[in-house]
Amino acid sequence: MKCLLCEKESKGMPHARVTPDARKWHDQHFPGMNLDEVLAKTGICEDCIALPPAERKKLAKKAIDHEKNEYRRELMEDAVKKRRN
């Protein structure tokens, strides 16, 4: 997986973290899209999770601003939101 924020390759961030609700949401909004495939490319590494929220937000904003693909942008925003708690 490539981290959304620092773009480092990292291992882990398994698909198993997806809740059944999240999967259902995905299937409803993006029918035909392979969630596992998307997740394999969309995540935030442990280093970035450990950053102070303000720093993480800065990185996230930069990454999202640079993303041209709307679908991926949504996923990124979603991923960042989930980590904020």
Would you count residue 5 as binding Zn ion (CB under 5 A)? Answer: yes
Task: Give CA–CA dist 5/63, Å, rounded.
Answer: 6
E strand or H helix at 73 = helix 70-83
Q: Which of 1, 13, 39, 45 binds Zn ion (CB under 5 A)?
A: 45
Query: How far, in Å, are 18, 70, 76 from residue 52 at the CA level?
Result: 24, 27, 18
Only one of the segments 20-28, 29-37, 39-47, 68-76 lies at the binding site for Zn ion (rule: CB under 5 A); that segment is 39-47
Which of residues 1, 13, 39, 48 is near Zn ion by CB under 5 A?
A: 48
Binding footprint of Zn ion on the chain (CB under 5 A): 3, 5-6, 45, 48
